[in-house]
Amino acid sequence: SLSDRLGGVFDRLRGRGALTEADVRAAMREVRVALLEADVALPVARDFVDRVTEQAVGHNVLRSVTPGQQVVKIVHDALVAILGADESELLLDVTPPAVVMMVGLQGSGKTTTTAKIARRLSGRDRKKVLMASLDVNRPAAQEQLATLGTQVEVATLPIIAGQQPVDIARRALQAAKLQGYDVLMLDTAGRLHVDQALMDEMKAVADIADPAEILLVVDSLTGQDAVNVAQNFSDQVPLTGVVLTRMDGDARGGAALSMRAVTGKPIKFAGTGEKMDALEAFHPERVAGRILGMGDVVSLVERAAESIQQEDAERMAAKMAKGQFDMNDLRGQLAQMRRMGGLGALAGMMPGMKKAQGALQQAGGDKVLIHMDAMIGSMTVKERSKPELINAKRKIRIAKGSGTTVQDVNKLLKMHQEMSTAMKKLKKMGGIKGLMALLG
């Protein structure tokens, strides 16, 4: 991670007075590499590094921490400041219907995100929401939104074949006004590349609908390209915010920094999966942690807290660390993982767990969680509390009882082992609280 690399650069500095410009510049070369590895656009990285260099030069080197850690903290804080210090909600405090317009390239996740936001507004915020698709280019795009609407129990504007986007927008506004909707969500068409016809269409719709929010939807995996896209859209319509999708993937958060720098607008949400509940408020400090390679531990802890009490988590961690984490506990964990959105939602969030998760994913993803539950169900009470009892003969019995194979049973045992090891490591790092302190 960046911390490790900076450790090398700064080792010789320990115990000296203030950070000199030369020291800081050496460190900033590492920071720049870390940013580029996290997919931050080059000009943005350059600009950021220049700014942070200024801040860091002259900083006193504290005795209590290494200079490397100190620079990481300075960089971390600067990242958080640029990403936006607070979570940013939608601003819909206008005469209803408040229009939310979604723009972005094709495949960025506009339609999915439209439905996710509509679900959140109608459920959590108790708003009466209408959705309308203005995408007349992509076959069945309007039907896609209607299907999602049924799924999240949000109304969609009836489809009239052959109507153009501007006319659909007009009709949607009228329907929303007449039928007393609080929010109208407009899902627009996207092209694979930015093109002027699309931009003009989008501007015409914005003129008519006078949106309270124009949200640019960006695929966080597009990394470097995301900047050009953001620049183009930002030049043409008055964006009010950004939604980053596919934050559940390998994105290292760099797109977030680039988006913020280019549009100057807050990132309002992060999409974290294909399911309708996979939408989160954007947390700058987590993304900063991700960019710096610290893993998204806070997210993980918060998610865990949603489904179980914090004490349970701590107790579990303590048990694991002592090696008392048995199959009953693992079974509880698997059920919890499923509640937390399956493997996809968890993958890559926590450094220590990555290995166990990788192995699980390889073994067949979420389905495997159900198999594992069945295997533990086929164990005797004794075997569950003392997995080391499970010899070859017992493995065959368990596999038969659960409709799996001995290989599957072996994988389960291995995973149990890996989780125990990861937890021991976590304990060495100061436990979950210690990790959170590192981030905060």
114 annotated binding-site participant:
no
Q: Does 231 bind ligand GDP (CB under 6 A)?
A: no
Residue selected from 70, 108, 142, 333 as contacting ligand GDP according to rule CB under 6 A: 108
Residue selected from 107, 342, 358, 364 as contacting ligand GDP according to rule CB under 6 A: 107
Residue 274's binding partner, choosing from ligand GDP, Mg ion, none, with beta-carbon cut-off 5 to 8 A by kind? ligand GDP
d(CA 320, CA 17): 42
Name the H helices within 124-216.
141-152, 165-178, 196-209
d(CA 327, CA 268): 40
Shortest separation between residue 275's beta carbon and ligand GDP, angstroms: 9
Residue 88's binding partner, choosing from ligand GDP, Mg ion, none, with beta-carbon cut-off 5 to 8 A by kind? none
Residue 273's binding partner, choosing from ligand GDP, Mg ion, none, with beta-carbon cut-off 5 to 8 A by kind? ligand GDP
Record the tokens describing residue 192, joined without a space.
């694979």
Is residue 165 reached through a cis peptide bond, with omega within 30 degrees of 0 on the bond before it? no
Only one of the segments 38-46, 199-207, 252-260, 273-281 lies at the binding site for ligand GDP (rule: CB under 6 A); that segment is: 273-281
CA angle, residues 161, 194, 43, in degrees to nearest 5:
150
**H/E element, 341:** none
Q: Does 273 bind ligand GDP (CB under 6 A)?
A: yes
CA-nearest of 240, 230, 244 to 279 is: 244
**H/E element, 225:** none
Q: Rounded to 10 degrees, what is the CA torsion of 219, 222, 224, 226?
A: -30
Residue 142 or 333 having the CB closest to ligand GDP? 142
Residue 147 or 324 having the CB closest to ligand GDP? 147
Q: Does 109 bind ligand GDP (CB under 6 A)?
A: yes
Q: Does 253 bind ligand GDP (CB under 6 A)?
A: no
Residue selected from 23, 201, 213, 248 as contacting ligand GDP according to rule CB under 6 A: 248
Is the CA virtual torsion 203, 205, 210, 214 positive or negative?
Answer: negative
Shortest separation between residue 109's beta carbon and ligand GDP, angstroms: 3
Note whether 244 and 133 are within 8 A (CB). Answer: no
Print the binding letters for residues 175-214 with ligand GDP: x by CB under 6 A, - otherwise: ---------------x------------------------
* Coil vs helix vs strand at 169: helix
Shortest separation between residue 93's beta carbon and ligand GDP, angstroms: 27
Residue 96, CA atoms < 13 Å, CB-side half-sphere? 14
CA angle, residues 350, 353, 356, in degrees to nearest 5:
150
Q: Does 112 bind ligand GDP (CB under 6 A)?
A: yes
Cα 274 to Cα 109, 138, 330, 361, distances in angstroms: 9, 19, 27, 17
Note whether 188 and 168 are within 8 A (CB). Answer: no
Residue 45 or 230 having the CB closest to ligand GDP? 230
Only one of the segments 33-41, 104-112, 319-327, 424-432 lies at the binding site for ligand GDP (rule: CB under 6 A); that segment is: 104-112
Binding residue count for ligand GDP, defined by CB under 6 A: 18
Residue 342's binding partner, choosing from Mg ion, ligand GDP, none, with beta-carbon cut-off 5 to 8 A by kind? none
Residue 107's binding partner, choosing from ligand GDP, Mg ion, none, with beta-carbon cut-off 5 to 8 A by kind? ligand GDP
d(CA 93, CA 84): 21
Name the H helices within 58-164.
67-83, 110-123, 141-152
191 annotated binding-site participant:
yes
SS3 readout for 355-380 = HHHHHHHHCCCHHHHHHHHHHHHCCC
111 annotated binding-site participant:
yes
Shortest separation between residue 411's beta carbon and ligand GDP, angstroms: 25
Residue selected from 66, 70, 108, 111 as contacting Mg ion according to rule CB under 5 A: 111
Residue 96's binding partner, choosing from ligand GDP, Mg ion, none, with beta-carbon cut-off 5 to 8 A by kind? none
Residues in the chain: 440
Residue 104 or 293 having the CB closest to ligand GDP? 104
Contacts to ligand GDP by CB under 6 A:
104, 106-112, 190, 245-246, 248-249, 271-274, 278
Q: Please report, in range form, the residues annotated as the binding site for GTP.
A: 104-111, 187-191, 245-248
Residue ranges in contact with Mg ion by CB under 5 A: 110-111
